[in-house]
Structure formats: C-alpha cells, structure tokens
Amino acid sequence: FLIFGWIFIKITLYLVKKILAFTKVDSLIAKLNFHEIFGNSIIKIQPTKIILTAIKWILILVFIIIASELLGLKMISEQLGNLIAYLPKLISSLVIFGIGIYLANIARKAISSMFSSLELTGGNLAGNLIFYVIAIVSSITALNQANVETDLITNNLSIIFASILLAFTIAFGLGSTDVIKRLLFSYYSRKNLQVGDKIRSDNFEGVIESINNISVVLSSENKTVIVPIKE
C-alpha cells in the first residue's frame, strides 16, 4: 500500500506540473505586482510550487486516512478527514484575498491616473486610501470564509472608518467654503461680464482682458490691474 501510494503521488505530481507549465500560472504573480504593494523585500511567490506542495500533502493525508482505516485507527482518520474537509475553505479564502489585493492595486492605479489626467494633486494619497480600504475588506471576507471570528475586528474598523469619514467631512466642509464661494463668484462674473467689456468702480477702471476663478484682469492706462474675483 505504501509503495502504491508513493508511486501514485509521484505520477500525479508529474502530471499536475506539466499542466501548470502549460497554463503558465507563474506569470500571474507578475500581474499582481506584489513588489509594488509590499516592497522589494517580499519573498518571491511561485504558484507552481505552492500548488504542487498543497496537492502533495493532500494526497499524503488521504493515504494516511486510508491506512488508518485499514489499521482500525478511526480517531486518526476522522480528525484528518476534518482537516481535509477544511482545506477547500482555506484555499478559497486565500483566493479571495489574492483577488482582493489584485483589484485594490488596479483601483489604486486607476485613481492615480485619473487625478494625473485631471491635473489634480493628491492622486497617490487617494489611490493608497482606496487600496487599503479594498485590502481590508478583502482580508475580512477571506477570514470569514476561513471560519475565523471577525466581529471584534469588524466593529473596531467600523468605528475607525466612521471617525475618519466624519473628520474628513468636517474638514472638507470647513475648508472648501471659500473655494465654493470663489467658484460661484467666477460663475456669475463670467455670466455677466465678457472679455473686452469696460468696467469702472471707485477703485479701478479698465477693459477686461481675462476672467479666471480667483481674479479679473483689467487693462487700464498702459498697466494691468488684477481685481480679486470677490470684488
């Protein structure tokens, strides 16, 4: 029985290795960009070796269970059977975690590219924030799939996220008041005034050269007058 099991495991691993080489599963690790996520110090992950090692030990456990049944050691066979029954949940949780990290990395790059295309600052900060949010959600989902109790982690993260969002909302609301006011001033200035119009007040007089979000530029008596948009 032991000789048969050893030969069967060797043949199975050889066939699986050929199949994995044909599918080029090792190239998937490059798409996950783990070196960009965790840094260059991370251990290199080779999916082929991981899969072959997992299959090898699963087959070994199966043959141990069969041998235990043949020898009448039901307690050992039952416990190993429970371990094998748990392995699909463990593998699926690892797959969920890997897919979550991959999607988080894509979202981070998309956010950074969008901010760059719009010529806005803070793209890296927003991208990293989205990345960590998706990564944390994926990690909690993977732990739940692995039957790990996550109520305490979920409750604490809910409080932390709520506090961060509340602080961000208050800060953004207070900090953007002046910006919104200037945007409204600019909108109504462009609506009521046109480039080339001549305007006059107690403090300035001239022809409008341009209107932007913060000021109106006037040409008056061979000089340029910049008037704040709020005036």
What pLDDT, in 10s, does the model give residues 171-228?
Answer: 777 766 776 777 777 777 777 888 888 888 877 788 888 888 778 888 887 788 888 8
Is residue 219 within 8 Å of 200, Cβ to Cβ? no
What pLDDT does 45 receive? 62
The two three-digit tokens of residue 163, written as one number = 């506090």
% of the chain surpassing 90 pLDDT: 0
Distance CA 18, CA 132 (A): 37
Residue 193: CB partners within 8 Å, gap ≥ 6?
A: 199, 208, 211, 216
What is the per-residue pLDDT across 21-56, written as a single tens digit (0 to 9) for each? 777 766 666 555 555 554 444 456 677 787 888 888
- DSSP annotation of 154: H
Distance CA 154, CA 156 (A): 6
Q: How far is CA 175 from CA 36, 178, 231, in A?
A: 33, 7, 21
Per the DSSP assignment, residues forming a β-bridge with 206 are 199
Geometric angle at alpha carbon 107, from 105 and 110, rounded to 5°: 110
* Strand 215-220 to 205-211 pairing: antiparallel
